[in-house]
Amino acid sequence: MDRAGLIAFLTAPAFTDIVVLSVWVSLSAALLAALVGIPLGAALAVYRLPGRRPIVIGLHALLGLPPVVVGLSLYLMLSRSGPLGAFGLLFTPAAMVVAQSILALPIVAALTHTAVSDLWAEYGGALQVDGASRLRAIPHLLRVARPRLLTAVLAGFGRTISEVGAILIVGGNIAGYTRTMTTAIVLETSMGDFAFALALGLVLIAVSAGVSIALFGLNARLVNS
Amino acid sequence: MSMPQKLPRLGLVAVLLASTSALAADPGTQSIVLASTTSVENSGLLAHILPLFTKQTGIEVRVLAQGTGQALATASRGDADLVLVHDPEAEQKFIAAGDGVDRRQIAWNDFILVGPRADPARIAGSRDAVAALKAIATAGAPFVSRGDKSGTDALEHRLWRAVGIDPTAGGRASWYHDIGGGMGAALNAAAAMNAYTISDRGTWLSFGNKRDLVVLSEGDPRLLNRYDVILLDPKKHPDAKQQPAHRFADWLTSTQGQAAIGAYRVAGQQLFHPSAATPR
């Protein structure tokens, strides 16, 4: 593809849709993982729950969860012949969000657990002397741990925005509906349009960095307010 | 942490989640899922004809570009509303298993043998695909196989059976590279390895990385490539959207749909020959 063709494509509405969908899906998945993973990681750090150690070890083991396996398992669940088939979620953006949040959850939860454990070891005694219950100590700990929690969420987002194996399977790479930047890069590479695939890759890196920087900025503003 | 600090973040989450579910629900428009092959999608044919259909009927067609084997498997699980594929044997099995009904041919083109310009197996100009494959095997020249149960893969294995050689038997032959990928991936691999491969003409014409590859053998009647649309049997697949899927199949075989298929060209060449009225 020549330069004019490349520029025409990168400025077309279809391309904008791909970028918007990528960011939407991956950001939603990372935030969903944060909503579940941060409380989970903190609770595991503070409470002496039965079976806590196996759960923590399990979370760390799942850091290397293979996206294609998550994609395939979810595919079989969401398929019309699967147990959750009635919801009709297969080949939709919602299925992609679910897949990616499963992949991001162990990352967010494990990093939160590590951050909060350190703080709990340091301040836990003092907080309890002050009469705070474990439950009431958690918001304080999370507040102190916030820079590290941001890193946890960004690591989760890094996983989701760059992921292709799971969303290719549960999303189907449908043009104009479930095609994201990563699945489009796979497609363009398979069609031998390398210039195009590479241009998309550079846009993906820029967008992913941009979102991370924006989240950083948002966090800084919240700290200062 | 005070509430006002928490609120903007929760608001952001709510907006994101709401918009995601909005994307999933997609109210108002009717849509069907077409499980199809990479050759009709990657060649640009569907991107050319689908907007015409959607404009006329308001029905959006969501295309899954998979190999024929995977497309039929997707449909037999109930995850598509109709299929558009090109492997007569697999299609017959699909119909015999009670998954599909009402098979109609919509277009044809042909498969071609491509390979490096240097042509170490000397097959250039041969119209006999079986003799050409035999020459490649005899020369031990590198050959790339899809190995993905696609329509093209099925044709390749039919041809090897005709040659009387099974290159996958008893520890793969060293010149035979089973890449387990789509047509484009196979062409990329062949271009990189200076290998021979079999391609459908549509993907070949629209492929962007031919490098040293050229068409070496074509014109064998065994290289005919037929595209069929098949609806799902409502008895086995009650969830398939019968009515809009039917409309799409009817449109593909209509004068209008056939004209749209015939009008699609890449670099001045017609990629698909409409054949609903005169199936080959």
Residue B21 lies in a domain: no
pLDDT score for B21? 52
Residue B250 lies in a domain: yes
Domains and CATH numbers, chain A: 3-224 (1.10.3720.10)
The answer on pLDDT for B22 being more than 60 is no
ipTM for the complex shown: 0.82
Alpha-carbon Rg for chain A, nearest whole angstrom, is: 20
Number of domains making up chain B: 2
Residue B195 lies in a domain: yes
Q: Do B47 and B183 belong together in one domain?
A: no
Above pLDDT 90, what percent of chain B? Answer: 72
Residue with tokens 């060293």: B174
Q: Do B213 and B164 belong together in one domain?
A: yes
DSSP 8-state secondary structure symbol assigned to residue B124: T
pLDDT score for A7? 78
- Amino acid B174 reads S
Q: Is A123 exposed, middle or buried (0-12, 13-18, 19+ CB in 10 A)?
A: middle
**What is the pTM (predicted TM-score) of this model?**
0.86
Residue B168 lies in a domain: yes
Residue B204 corresponds to which tokens in the numbers above? 């070949």
Q: Rounded distance, CA A167 to CA A187, Å?
A: 13
User: Contact A24/B19, CB-based, under 8 Å?
Assistant: yes
Q: Rounded distance, CA A205 to CA A158, Å?
A: 10
* Rounded (10°) CA dihedral A217, A220, A225, B2: 110
Q: Do B164 and B262 belong together in one domain?
A: no
Q: Do B232 and B176 belong together in one domain?
A: no
Residue B6 lies in a domain: no
Domain end, chosen from B180, B206, B223, is at B223
Q: What is the mean pLDDT of residues B119-140?
A: 94
Task: Please tell me if residue A174 touches chain B, with a CB cutoff of 8 Å.
Answer: yes
The answer on pLDDT for A208 being more than 70 is yes
pLDDT score for A215? 87
* pLDDT, mean over chain B: 88
Residue B169 lies in a domain: yes
Q: A222 pLDDT band (50/70/90 cuts)?
A: confident
pLDDT tens digit sequence for A69-78: 999 999 999 9
Q: Do B102 and B199 belong together in one domain?
A: no
CATH code of B86's domain: 3.40.190.10
Task: Please tell me if residue A46 touches chain B, with a CB cutoff of 8 Å.
Answer: no
Residue A123 corresponds to which tokens in the numbers above? 């301040």
Pick the more confident residue, A42 or A193: A42
Q: What is the mean pLDDT of residues A172-191?
A: 92
Instruction: Provide residues of B within 8 Å CB-CB of chain A.
Output: 1, 5, 8-9, 12-13, 16-17, 19-21, 23-24, 26, 33, 38, 41-42, 47, 62-65, 77-79, 181-185, 187-188, 191, 206-210, 237, 239
Alpha helices in chain B (DSSP H): 3-25, 38-42, 45-57, 68-76, 88-96, 129-139, 151-163, 183-193, 201-206, 242-253, 255-263
A148: left (phi over 0), alpha (psi -120 to 50) or beta: alpha
User: Contact B79/A91, CB-based, under 8 Å?
Assistant: yes
The answer on pLDDT for A219 being more than 90 is no
pLDDT score for B27? 47
A92, A172, A192 member nearest B24 (Cβ): A92
Helix axes A13-46, A134-144, angle to 10 degrees: 130
Task: Please tell me if residue A168 touches chain B, with a CB cutoff of 8 Å.
Answer: no
pLDDT score for B12? 55
Q: Do B155 and B212 belong together in one domain?
A: yes
pLDDT score for B23? 52
pLDDT tens digit sequence for A34-67: 999 999 999 999 988 888 899 999 999 999 999 9
Q: Do B134 and B208 belong together in one domain?
A: yes
Q: Which structural domain range is residue B170 located in?
A: 111-223
Residues of B within 8 A of A142 (CB-CB) are 1
